[in-house]
Amino acid sequence: MRALARGRAEPDAVIDLHGLTQAEAHGRLIGFLRRARSAGHGLVLVVTGQGGRDGGTGERGVLRRVVPHWLQVADLRSLVLGFEEAGTRQGGAGALYVRLRRDRSHG
């Protein structure tokens, strides 16, 4: 993890969700994590963005706030071992390193 945070290593895969609606982001995140685990990836980067335009809702950073929750609920908990804020060089508070569980069906 230190090597990642210092920019000396790269995650196995990256998805950029910023700019998407919650519904779009949720669907893409589920598909991405399933494909990443099936491909044998152990660590991926999920970019949520820092929070920008709010579409008139008065809220900023919705994805930044809800993605950690999604990673802990039933549909993703079976895929996710853990997560933490990314290092500054890979998005900082606008991104998460996500550790994936091993795919026991391929192994």
- For the chain, which residues make up each domain, given as ranges? 2-106
Percent of the chain with pLDDT strictly greater than 90: 55
Tell me the CATH number of domain 2-106, given options 3.40.190.10, 3.30.1370.110, 3.40.50.720, 2.40.50.140.
3.30.1370.110
Question: CA 32 to CA 57: how far, in whole Å?
Answer: 27
Question: Does residue 52 register a pLDDT over 80?
Answer: no
- In this prediction, residue 56 carries a pLDDT of 47
Element (H, E) at 83: strand 80-85
Mean pLDDT for all residues in the chain: 84
Q: At what angle do helices 62-70 and 22-38 cross, to 10 degrees?
A: 40
For 63-86, the pLDDT digits (tens) are 999 999 999 997 888 899 999 988
Query: Which residues are CB-contacts of 30 (< 8 A; sequence separation ≥ 6)?
Result: 75, 76
For 1-46, the pLDDT digits (tens) are 566 655 566 899 999 998 899 999 999 999 999 999 999 999 999 9
Question: CA 67 to CA 84: how far, in whole Å?
Answer: 11
Question: Does residue 89 register a pLDDT over 80?
Answer: no
- In this prediction, residue 88 carries a pLDDT of 79
Q: Give CA 83 to chain center in angstroms.
A: 8
- In this prediction, residue 47 carries a pLDDT of 95
Mean pLDDT of 57-61: 58
